Structure 1
Amino acid sequence: MLLKGALHIHTTCSDGDMNMSEVVEIYAALGFDFIAITDHDFLLPRACQESTIYDQQSGLIIFQGLELTIFEKGYLHVNKIEGDREVLHIFNHPSELDLPVEKVIQRIEAVARKVPLDAVEVTSKGFYTAEYDISEIRYPKVATDDAHTRQGCGRAWIEMDCKASKDSIIRAIKRGNFWNCFNT
């Protein structure tokens, strides 16, 4: 089954402008099959951590996630996205570190010693950052839109051919069985 998904979305539970209902409505209207809500760990109130009601009402597969803050020579972000049994960790927005690529690779490898990284973003706010889509970064590279506002939704996403289940989607990403897409 061909699936379209967004792996990095923020809501009003942290620093996004859209509440959960708005996010679900927007991504469903854009033809997405799955989304990951990844609000910031240090801003997230416990009351915001439940999305199953939206899952059932929208038909979207909704992953619960967190954008983790990890200290490694500065603050870095890693999305932790939970499936039913599987967990996916994505190193976020390397281009926003404002470092040479070699230094970013060093940061990625240092973070990988702290959390089990599975992928690295090759976008910044949904715009392609080709300098990180290189073989020296040994992880699958994912396109995300890191949406905080309605205007940021649907700029970049992944597509894959797999079973429509959380764990199947995560396993496909970990294996690199997807392709990146961008809204021009």
Structure 2
Amino acid sequence: MADRTRVGVLISGRGSNLKALLDAQASADCPYEIALVVSNVEDAPGLDFARALGIATFAKAHKGMKRAEFDALVDAELRAHNIEAVALAGYMRLLSPGFVEGWAGRMINIHPSLLPLYKGLDTHQRAIEAGDAKHGCSVHLVTAELDDGPIIAQAEVPILPGDTPDTLAARVLVEEHRLYPLALAELVRTL
């Protein structure tokens, strides 16, 4: 995997999108390798996926630290592991402008809505309440504004009669797991 682009993944929770990225890198034609997984939650379940594969991890709680100070620690870890691109996968923390600038054009995020609709949290509930016919997920380049960077890829799912936020989220998550590895591969091929 020496000729693959080294990717760092930032997570805060269960790591289901991280697992999708890890599963995809098993393919011989995958252009990236996950070389580091970072979490701002020390016991995030997703860290176990990386550890089981012998991938380096860095986990530290951000509480009590200024945003830029914490982001500087994360940046130092990414650079120490020769990371070339960053994928946010359920990283539930806003990033400092300096960190975003340092990784501009090389950092992506997956968001559970059809951006520019429903930036932020509770996207499934908001889509249902709005009476939308469709919902989905978006992969975008990260900028200093929340969920606002250029969109790389999107996938749609219908909103069905009787959908709850949980049932809709489950269908969207299936698409996230399909879309994110493809979008990350597309990004790293352009670097």
TM range (shorter): 0.3 to 0.5
Which structure has greater strand proportion? 1
Task: Return the TM-score normalized by structure 1.
Answer: 0.38
Task: Return the TM-score normalized by structure 2.
Answer: 0.37
Which structure has greater helix proportion? 2
